[in-house]
Structure 1
Amino acid sequence: MQHLTLAALSAATLTVGTAGAETLKMSTIEPSLGQAITMATFANVVNSNQDAVEIEVAGGGAATVHQLEAARGNLDMWMTSPTIYTFQKNGTAMYANEAEAPALAENLRLLMWFPYGDYHYAVRGSSDIEYLDDIEGATVFLGPAGGGAFNAAKGWIEATTGLVAGEDYEAITANWATGFQAFQDGKIDMYVNGCIDPCQQFLQFTETESIRFIGPEDHTGEAVDKYLGNFRYITELATNMYKNQLNDGPIVSNDTPVGIGVRAGLDEEAVYQVTKAFWDNIGSISSDAPWAKALSVEFAVESRADMVLHPGAERYYREVGALK
């Protein structure tokens, strides 16, 4: 089969498929991020293992915008989440000024959920910051300002430590590439990235530098419970994941589900073949994509935010016993 390289994923558009196949348009977030790599790898596996459908992947942009475009019929597949689906369905947050958003949400269906990836709160090995509670006065990158990752990291820090971005520490304004470069150059004290290990950014950084992942001194309490809500959950970062990782024990962190959404109007048989081609061949990518071990059909079909599975996907999951 064909395998995706980081260079291929960083291209504006990736097309791998068979001439004459039905083309489905998928949009992902920033191509260097783990979630985009997961989705592009999904497309590669599907395209390599059946001939009826070709998934064409375009990288870049915001998942919240992609979802609205899919609801309008301009995209076939995109990265969703329980949170942004709920926002659109209720016409709140970034969809508050989109009067048609709740009605358009009826055009959205789910193919699968997968973990966004543990949030990694990273400092240099030489840093005197040992816990998130120690970042008062520090300069950090939480993600692009205003985005979902930024708000998730900001919320976790505030819920567990009481520290507020912009008041107790500086959260720099930068995109993903610039934020990571700032960490590499030693211009910021902490870099945050949510991803399924092994993450490309930390593999790259630890080739030449030591790193330590940090968590809060205490991850319990009413504020944490409120932050986690119905969709987020507690995770642990393991030791010895990366060369030059200095942690001597597991680190408590946070994670959330994201998913691959599909237009409700897509042909049932096409979505069935796409779903089947991926899950029946996921084992073929484990050596090139060890993070694929974090994906499972059980996680994929969990009920979240009342987002309905596409009938084609549901058919496959019932065949393999993931749904009763």
Structure 2
Amino acid sequence: MRHLIITGLTAIAMASPVAADDTTLKMATIAPSLGAAISMATFANVVNDNLDGVEIEVSGGGAATLHMMEVARGNLDMSMTSPVVYNLMSAGKAMYAKQADAPELAKNLQLMMWYPYGAYHFAVRADSDIELLDDIEGASVFLGPQGGGAYNAAKGWIEATTGMVPGEDYDAIKANWQTGFQAFMDGKIDVYVNGCLDPCGQFIQFTETEEVRFLAPESHEGEAVDKYLGKWRYRAEVPAGLYAGQKNDSAVMSFDTAVGIGVRADLDEETVYLMTKTFWDNIEQVTSDAPWAKALDIEFAASKRGLIELHPGAARYYKEVGVLD
């Protein structure tokens, strides 16, 4: 990927498809250094490189849970979404319980594509006496920014597999993505959690000077775990040998989920169709030099997950190529 934040239209080949009118769209992502944000910025780069008449401007930072509301209000055009978080928004529950307009706003948020968030990595220094997720009692842990989807997902996995909850059994520190990672780099916290498609930039950086070990729970089976995973999360392994300083002898079990590019339902069908087509028609531009991008799959992208509906423009493309009936 050449750029992370796109602020202008890049050079475009003469054979590029053309949107009807020049269109500038606003996309918001979570912290730019995170894998899910890189995936979204990559989508924007491919569209900007190959589609005449459309410019996607990407800004990084903030919570996807809030970005989704702003897309639905028409203040943004695209943001990250997920099956679990969209379902909560449409029901006005959890982080949306105090947002009276969330269920109505959810009707103006649709989907362009899903992609894997990446397995959640529960990381400690290799010399830590924490060897299993069950050993974090009394530890300081960065789960993600409090109130965000990643925080709630990591917290839920720990509770489902170990029975431990923050504030009682371990200390979940308050920090944003940048300061949480820096605290781990500086040795100020015991456990750092990040979901990402390997290889992750944070762990590449960390293992340049330190050794890391990823934690699995003693058991990832049972009714509580199955209930937590539900329909939209799934078990996923973090393999051994991913990073030079990784000290796991074998793969460790964690979990993953789908996240997606949400789009305004009232964005015109042709523009969304052309953006979707342009990305998938030029996917080799990504996978040729980004190992993590091999996890992108068009059937996964178009699959039904949760209550959110595909935007008609995206659905039109997926039907055209035969991955949607």
Query: Would the TM-score normalized by the shorter structure come out above 0.5?
Result: yes
Structure 1 counterpart of 2:7, which letter? L
- Aligned counterparts, 1:7-46, within 5 A: 8-9=4-5, 14-17=7-10, 21-46=22-47
Residue 223 of structure 1 corresponds to which residue in structure 2? 224
Structure 2 counterpart of 1:136, which letter? E
State whether structure 2 residue 133 is matched by structure 1 residue 132.
yes
Q: CA RMSD in A?
A: 1.6
Work out the CA distance in 1 between the residues paired with 2:202 and 2:118. 13
C-alpha distance after superposition, 1:80-129 (max 9, x if no partner): 11122112211222222332222222211110011111100011111121
**Structure 1 length as normaliser, TM-score?**
0.94
Label 1:236 to 1:55 Cα distance change in 2 as closer, same or farther (>3 A).
Answer: same
3-state SS, counterpart of residue 42 of structure 1? helix
Residue 79 of structure 1 corresponds to which residue in structure 2? 80
3-state SS, counterpart of residue 39 of structure 1? helix
1:16·1:44 contact (CA, 8 Å) conserved in 2?
no
Work out the CA distance in 1 between the residues paired with 2:116 and 2:57. 23
1:17·1:55 contact (CA, 8 Å) conserved in 2?
no
1:199 Cα deviation from its structure 2 partner? 0.7
1:52·1:270 contact (CA, 8 Å) conserved in 2?
no
- The aligned length equals 317
State whether structure 2 residue 164 is matched by structure 1 residue 163.
yes
Structure 2 counterpart of 1:147, which letter? G
Work out the CA distance in 1 between the residues paired with 2:269 and 2:202. 38
Work out the CA distance in 1 between the residues paired with 2:135 and 2:100. 43
Residue 265 of structure 1 corresponds to which residue in structure 2? 266
Label 1:18 to 1:67 Cα distance change in 2 as closer, same or farther (>3 A).
Answer: farther
1:26·1:76 contact (CA, 8 Å) conserved in 2?
yes
Residue 2 of structure 2 corresponds to which residue in structure 1? 3
Structure 1 counterpart of 2:107, which letter? E
Work out the CA distance in 2 between the residues paired with 1:93 and 1:15. 37
3-state SS, counterpart of residue 263 of structure 2? strand
* Larger displacement relative to structure 2 (13-22 or 126-135): 13-22
Work out the CA distance in 2 between the residues paired with 1:147 and 1:307. 19
* Larger displacement relative to structure 2 (159-168 or 93-102): 93-102
C-alpha distance after superposition, 1:128-157 (max 9, x if no partner): 211101111211111112221111111111
C-alpha distance after superposition, 1:158-183 (max 9, x if no partner): 11011221111111111111111111
Work out the CA distance in 2 between the residues paired with 1:137 and 1:17. 50
2:236·2:255 contact (CA, 8 Å) conserved in 1?
yes
Residue 152 of structure 2 corresponds to which residue in structure 1? 151
State whether structure 2 residue 110 is matched by structure 1 residue 117.
no
1:225 Cα deviation from its structure 2 partner? 1.1
C-alpha distance after superposition, 1:225-252 (max 9, x if no partner): 1111121111001111111111111110
1:234·1:254 contact (CA, 8 Å) conserved in 2?
yes
Unaligned runs of 5+ in 2: 13-20
Work out the CA distance in 1 between the residues paired with 2:176 and 2:142. 9
Work out the CA distance in 2 between the residues paired with 1:213 and 1:58. 31
**Structure 2 length as normaliser, TM-score?**
0.93
Residue 55 of structure 1 corresponds to which residue in structure 2? 56
Work out the CA distance in 1 between the residues paired with 2:212 and 2:298. 33
1:18 Cα deviation from its structure 2 partner? 6.7
Structure 2 counterpart of 1:15, which letter? G
